[in-house]
């Protein structure tokens, strides 16, 4: 039996992503932490002839690897010279060459032309006052930071900061000559996907405008020879994962409802005939949403997915019942799961026969795997887990109303069934995301410290059909509350759980539900609310993404406030009796710090037992997943101290 997993093991944790194949070889990115420098690093690795070798090295963030179309080398994005640039390295290794000379900013995406001569880069430039030279000048002259003139609804983005009126540009870069051209998008659009035509003369891309106040994106085509952009959008609604199928066909993932802005609708696979302007839904009979929706602390929320087309079949990741598996669908809409995997596949590539993918399970952190008729793990980046105790989870289905709530229980291996143990119930964020069979360092750590840990997917979660996800649309704290209380009943009746020592916690929407539940019941011994939603009125007015009246939520936050106020946990603050730890980050633009401030001041004024941990501005909404490593460590220790104080005594 190994040692107990520790808080510091987060420094050993590696994450694997961005798999891309060329013939039987593959490249991918591996992210870890430099403990001494307290920062993340990422390197590119190659899988060749069954062996894995590091392809880039150093202390930078090397990400987004892509093969040269002829397999001659690898393109990748790196911040090695303190700016985000595209580099190239030959497939046999050696020194990498910097391809681009972009100003300070972020390469959000890029694609390479079929001949390898051109790149189309989605680039977001920093506002001038935030650039290095401007900051240096102010420091030398003892000048203050300038005021920001804000003219757009969408002017900040969690994890990125203030973008003001900046929008991504498409930069066409000639790899051989270094010449560049900026495609004029009139400063309106956010771009999430782009691809060259087979002849390299056109670039197709998806553009959306958060200012539009509906979940709408457009398919556009840029003609390089004519320097013209045309809109060829076939359906309304959101779109992503655009791929080129043939001279007259594209494919994308999306749905046709622009009024669904929070992800309650299933995302389907569409094939688009450019000539007729019509798109056909190939997965209309598949009642689950395409994409990776599982939550973990080994990757940021929303990372993962992908769409591939090989020999008249499409391949994609589908989240279902706590797993994320690869599916295939043919041009007639016949679909099937390629193989069964109890875990979460977050990126993959395939030639139609061999599948190379990055994935984790409850007991195995992210690694590289292969399916070639059987499933095998190929990499061992997280070999340290063999030296520690890791805990699997037992799965249960709990009846409530006309649905079943998927629930997991994790418990110590040396559990004595005759004794009673404290338990902790976790509520996931999203809300339209899901927990599942993936590695969660925080969960493993909590169980290692003697707690029964329970997590579940109440209504609103992805992976159980569209109706299940839509059941809480604009009505948080109703059916989801009922489901979570059924899970709480289940925990209390576990023979090895002390019903008087059950804790409650959640982050983001999970924090919302924690706040809401504490205002409804005092059945929990202690609670932690993390990066939570407290007041839907202030949340809608301060969050990074603009709020659209009468779409997901009824009304608005300045006039018709009844529904938003009715469903705001701050309204129930006077009822809270449970000792509460509030954790929030000043750099959180998704659920701004004002949410925590309101709850803390209300509870403190009411004489309640509450502590507020306020993390600094260099953190964001994703502190537990991608925040500064030392602050992630601090957060975990505070969790354990709080549970120890109230549940272990």
What is the pLDDT, as a whole number, of residue 172?
Answer: 98
**Nearest Cα to Cα of residue 326 among 367, 299, 355:** 355
Neighbouring C-beta atoms of residue 430, cutoff 10 Å: 20
Distance of CA 414 to the CA centre of its chain: 34
Share of the chain above pLDDT 70, in %: 100
Q: How far apart are CA 588 and CA 592, in angstroms?
A: 5
Could you say which DSSP state residue 342 is in?
S
**Region 54-79: what's the mean pLDDT?**
96
**Region 624-636: what's the mean pLDDT?**
97
**Do 532 and 591 touch, CB atoms closer than 8 A?**
yes
**Region 159-187: what's the mean pLDDT?**
94
Sheet with 526-530, side-by-side order of all strands: 393-400, 403-410, 452-457, 421-427, 497-507, 526-530, 580-585, 610-615
**Nearest Cα to Cα of residue 358 among 4, 20, 3:** 20
> What rounded mean pLDDT belongs to the chain?
96
Q: Which of 379, 432, 621, 624 is catalytic?
A: 621
Could you say which DSSP state residue 383 is in?
G
Per-residue pLDDT at 28 exceeds 90: yes
* Three-state DSSP class for residue 596: helix
Q: How far apart are CA 458 and CA 478, in angstroms?
A: 11
Residue 304's pLDDT band (boundaries 50, 70, 90)? confident
**Nearest Cα to Cα of residue 189 among 229, 224, 160, 159:** 229
What is the pLDDT, as a whole number, of residue 494?
Answer: 97
Q: Let me know if 585 is a catalytic residue.
A: no
Class of domain 396-647: alpha beta
Residue 46's pLDDT band (boundaries 50, 70, 90)? very high
Q: What stretch of H or E contains 253?
A: strand 249-254
**Region 233-237: what's the mean pLDDT?**
97
Neighbouring C-beta atoms of residue 54, cutoff 10 Å: 11
**Region 632-646: what's the mean pLDDT?**
98
Q: Which of 461, 508, 568, 585 is catalytic?
A: 508
**Do 243 and 250 touch, CB atoms closer than 8 A?**
yes
Share of the chain above pLDDT 90, in %: 94
* Three-state DSSP class for residue 375: strand
* Three-state DSSP class for residue 233: coil
For the CA atoms of the chain, what is the radius of gyration?
25
Q: Let me know if 584 is a catalytic residue.
A: no
Neighbouring C-beta atoms of residue 513, cutoff 10 Å: 27
* ∠ CA 105-106-110, rounded to 5°: 135
Buried-exposed string 75-102: b where 16+ CB fall within 10 A, e elsewhere? bbbbebeebbbbbbbebeeeebeebbeb
Structure-token pair, residue 394: 């037992």
* Three-state DSSP class for residue 73: strand
- Residue boundaries of the structural domains of the chain: 127-165, 396-647
Q: What are the CA-CA distances from residue 151 to residues 137, 154, 264 (Å)?
A: 26, 9, 30
Q: How far apart are CA 176 and CA 452, in angstroms?
A: 59
Q: How far apart are CA 485 and CA 400, in angstroms?
A: 10
What is the pLDDT, as a whole number, of residue 211?
Answer: 86
Per-residue pLDDT at 93 exceeds 90: no
What is the pLDDT, as a whole number, of residue 121?
Answer: 98
Q: What are the CA-CA distances from residue 631 to residues 237, 308, 498, 505, 585 (Å)?
A: 38, 38, 32, 19, 10
What is the pLDDT, as a whole number, of residue 472?
Answer: 98
* ∠ CA 205-245-374, rounded to 5°: 110
What is the pLDDT, as a whole number, of residue 15?
Answer: 97
Strands 367-371 and 355-360: antiparallel
Computed from CA positions of residues 330, 295, 415, 1, in that sequence, does the dihedral angle turn out positive or negative?
A: positive
What is the pLDDT, as a whole number, of residue 407?
Answer: 98
pLDDT tens digits along 274-301: 999 999 999 999 999 999 999 999 988 7
pLDDT tens digits along 568-586: 999 999 999 999 999 999 9
Q: What is the 3-state secondary structure (H, E, C) of 270-286?
A: EEEECCCCEEEECCCCC
Per-residue pLDDT at 187 exceeds 90: no
**Nearest Cα to Cα of residue 349 among 338, 333, 365, 334:** 338
Q: How far apart are CA 576 and CA 522, in angstroms?
A: 7
Beta partners for residue 612, in sequence order: 582
Beta partners for residue 497, in sequence order: 421
**Region 616-635: what's the mean pLDDT?**
96
């Amino acid at each position: 039996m190994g040692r107990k997993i520790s808080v510091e093991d987060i420094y050993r944790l590696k994450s694997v992503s961005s798999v891309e194949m060329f013939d039987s070889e593959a490249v991918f990115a591996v992210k870890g932490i430099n403990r001494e420098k307290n920062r993340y690093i990422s390197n590119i690795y190659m899988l060749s002839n069954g062996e894995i070798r590091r392809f880039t090295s150093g202390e930078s963030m090397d990400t987004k690897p892509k093969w040269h179309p002829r397999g001659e080398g690898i393109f990748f994005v790196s911040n090695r010279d303190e700016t985000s640039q595209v580099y190239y390295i030959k497939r046999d290794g050696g020194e990498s060459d910097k391809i681009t000379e972009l100003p300070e900013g972020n390469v959000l995406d890029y694609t390479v032309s079929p001949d390898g001569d051109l790149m189309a880069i989605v680039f977001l430039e920093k506002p001038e006052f935030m650039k290095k030279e401007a900051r240096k000048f102010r420091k030398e002259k003892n000048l203050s930071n300038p005021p920001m003139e804000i003219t757009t609804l969408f002017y900040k983005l969690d994890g990125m900061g203030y973008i003001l009126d900046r929008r991504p540009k498409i930069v066409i870069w000639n790899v051989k000559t270094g010449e560049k051209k900026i495609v004029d998008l009139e400063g309106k659009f956010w771009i999430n996907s782009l691809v060259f035509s087979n002849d390299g003369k056109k670039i197709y891309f998806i553009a959306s405008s958060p200012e539009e106040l509906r979940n709408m994106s457009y398919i556009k085509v840029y003609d390089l020879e004519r320097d013209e952009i045309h809109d060829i959008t076939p359906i309304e609604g959101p779109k992503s994962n655009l791929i080129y199928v043939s001279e007259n066909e594209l494919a994308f993932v999306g749905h046709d409802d622009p009024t669904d802005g929070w992800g309650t609708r299933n995302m389907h696979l569409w094939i688009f005939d450019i000539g007729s302007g019509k798109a056909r839904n190939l997965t209309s009979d598949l009642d689950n949403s395409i994409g990776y929706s599982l939550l973990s602390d080994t990757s940021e929320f929303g990372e993962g997915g992908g769409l591939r087309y090989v020999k008249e079949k499409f391949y994609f990741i589908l989240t279902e019942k706590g797993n994320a598996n690869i599916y295939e669908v043919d041009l007639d809409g016949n679909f099937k799961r390629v193989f069964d995997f109890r875990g979460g596949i977050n990126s993959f590539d395939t030639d139609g026969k061999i599948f190379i993918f990055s994935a984790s399970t409850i007991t195995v952190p992210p690694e590289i795997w292969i399916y070639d008729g059987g499933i095998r793990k190929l990499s061992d980046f997280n070999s340290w887990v063999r030296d520690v105790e890791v805990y699997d989870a037992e799965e249960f289905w709990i009846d409530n109303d006309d649905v079943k709530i998927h629930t997991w229980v994790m418990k110590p291996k040396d559990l004595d069934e005759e004794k009673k143990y404290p338990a902790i119930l976790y509520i996931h964020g999203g809300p339209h995301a899901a927990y599942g069979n993936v590695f969660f360092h925080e969960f493993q750590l909590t169980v290692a410290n003697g707690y029964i840990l329970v997590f579940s997917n109440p209504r609103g979660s992805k992976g159980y059909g569209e109706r299940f996800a839509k059941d809480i649309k604009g009505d948080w704290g109703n059916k989801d509350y009922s489901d979570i209380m059924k899970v709480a009943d289940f925990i209390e009746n576990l023979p090895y759980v002390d019903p008087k020592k059950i804790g409650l916690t959640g982050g983001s929407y999970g924090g919302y539900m924690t706040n809401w539940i504490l205002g409804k019941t005092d059945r929990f011994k202690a609670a932690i609310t993390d990066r939570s939603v407290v007041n839907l009125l202030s949340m809608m007015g301060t969050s990074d993404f603009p709020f659209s009246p009468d779409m997901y939520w009824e009304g608005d936050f300045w006039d018709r406030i009844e529904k938003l106020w009715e469903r705001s946990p701050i309204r129930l603050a006077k009822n809270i009796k449970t000792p509460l730890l509030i954790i929030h980050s000043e750099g959180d633009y998704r659920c701004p710090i004002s949410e925590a401030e309101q709850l803390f001041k209300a509870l403190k004024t009411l004489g309640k037992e509450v502590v507020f941990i306020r993390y600094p501005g260099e953190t964001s909404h994703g502190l537990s997943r991608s925040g500064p490593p030392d602050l992630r460590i601090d957060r975990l220790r505070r969790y354990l101290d709080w549970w120890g104080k109230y549940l272990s005594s």
